[in-house]
Every structure is written in structure tokens, then in C-alpha cells.
Amino acid sequence: MNRIIRVGSRKSLLAMTQTKLIIEELKHHFPEYTYEIVEITTTGDRIQDVKLDKIGGKGLFIKELEDAMAEGRIDFAVHSLKDMPAELEGDTKIVAISKRVNPMDVLVMPVGKKISDLREDSIIGTSSIRRERQILKWRPKSKIKMLRGNVPTRIRKLDEGEYDAIVLAAAGLIRLGLSDRITYTFSESEMLPSVGQGALAIEAPKNSPILHMLEILNDRKTQLETEAERAFSKSLGGSCSTPIGALAVLSGETIELKVMYGEQEKEGYKQMVKKCKVSQRNEVAIEMAEQLRRLI
């Protein structure tokens, strides 16, 4: 009888879609196994009317999944890497990081609207302090209104007239087949994405007997890029309450790292760009964090 591998996933449509993508890849390499999705509701899913930094930050989307691993109810979990804290605690680890799709943020407006229709004082939806700071530099007169919920819920609120535009991750829309809702893609100079945005993380117990299977899912380019981004974030104590953005791009044996950082209590933010050898990526990321901290 085939062994059943239980895969933990949040219940949202995007999370389930991402988990199914990972399972399809595993089936390609290991068709002899049966894969079962275990849907789990996290604290971040339950509390939808409060900003994340007010109720505990990034860990709110992974704790219940980690508990399920500790209790043996699931064998591994699939996460959006951007939802994971800079450092994991306990007996689990990130085993693999899948190939990244478009890491940028996008603006979504009602059907038929163009970026040229966006008024200077438009109501723009986001609950991310990183996005908020960069929006206010891009369009200083914008009115920022909190936006929580899964992707379809956010788009529904936009279409019902609660917002003139909302900011979402391109990757989520692409994976859900909603690319046609993208009105405008921000450039790197306008809005740096969240650390790890566009990549999926596979988390499993450190002593899992299927580590060798999960490691096949790892994309080296994405791993090297996001390691640099996460080193930058970790050095700054990255959390949902701090405006931190980073985008690393690997080309050959060189990585270019673009970062932004601001303080929670102060308006604005600072940016920095550096290139380095791949072997120096984490060291340079930490140096950049220290330099930006001194500038703020």
C-alpha cells in the first residue's frame, strides 16, 4: 500500500492553489506516494479586522501549521516565503524554496480603469506598512485604507467601491489565474517587494524521513536570492511592523541587492543598492542593514 504524505496548507484559495502546485511537482518525481492536503486555519486567517503587527506579525500564518508538524498530523507545510519570520524556532526548518514567479507588487483597479484614471487623492487599500510608505512617496496625497482578507475578498471589496485601487503581490494573482486584473506593475524604484515575495517555502521537521524528497523542490537561484533578502531582514529584526523591502537578483556569480528600510515611528524610508559576489551575499546584506540603520 502506498504511503500517504500529509501536506499542511492554509485554507485560502491561494494557499490551496500553491500547495497543489507543490504536490504536482512531487508527484512527477515520486508518483508511488499518495498526497493528502490537510487544511489548517491560522490565527492570521481568523483575525481579519486588525493589522498584523497589532496581533503578532508574520508568525501568525505559520504557528498552527508548525503545531500540526510537531503533533505528527502533517509531514510538511507549504508557505508563501514572505509570510515566514526571518528566523525559525523549534524543530523545523525550510527544506526547499521553489522557483520564484514575478516578485513585484501591482496595483489593481476596477475593471476598465487605467493608471491614468487614478486621482492624486485616491483611496488605496493595503495593510502593509512597507507598501504604505512607498505608496506615499509615489503618490503623496493618497489616502491609505486598511485592507485584509484573502485575494478574492480584497478584489471584491475593490469592485464594491470601498477603494479606488488596491496593492497586491503579482505572484498571487498569477497563480490564481487573475493576471488580467493587474492594472499596473510597480517598478523596483517605485516599490520594492516584501522579502521572499513570489517564492514558496517548504517547511518540515528537521528529522523528517522525506527530506530527500522535499529537497528536490529547491530552486538554487531563488534560494540564493532569498537568502540574501532574509539576511537583510533578520539583521533589522524584520517584522510586519517595520517597513522593510528587498529584492535580490542573481546573474552569473553576481547578486544585485536592492533594499529599503524605515522606522515604524518615523515617516519615509531609505534605499540602497549594491552588487557583490554570490559568496558574499549574506555578509553584504548585513552590512547594508547596518548602514541603513545608521542613516535613519
Write down the H helix ranges in the chain.
13-29, 43-46, 63-70, 129-138, 151-159, 170-175, 211-214, 220-235, 281-295
- Cell (9 digits) for 64: 498552527
Residue from 161, 230, 223 nearest 195 by CA: 230
Residue 96, beta-bridge partner list: 202
Q: Are 6 and 65 in contact (CB under 8 A)?
A: no
3-state helix, strand, coil in the chain (%, to 5): 40, 25, 40
Maximal CA-CA distance, the chain? 63
Bridge partners of residue 108, in order along the sequence: 166
Catalytic positions, please?
Answer: 83
**What's the full length of the chain, in residues?**
296
Q: Which helix (H) or strand (E) holds 107?
A: strand 105-108
Distant-in-sequence, close-in-space partners of 85: CB < 8 Å, separation ≥ 6: 57, 58, 59, 62, 238, 239
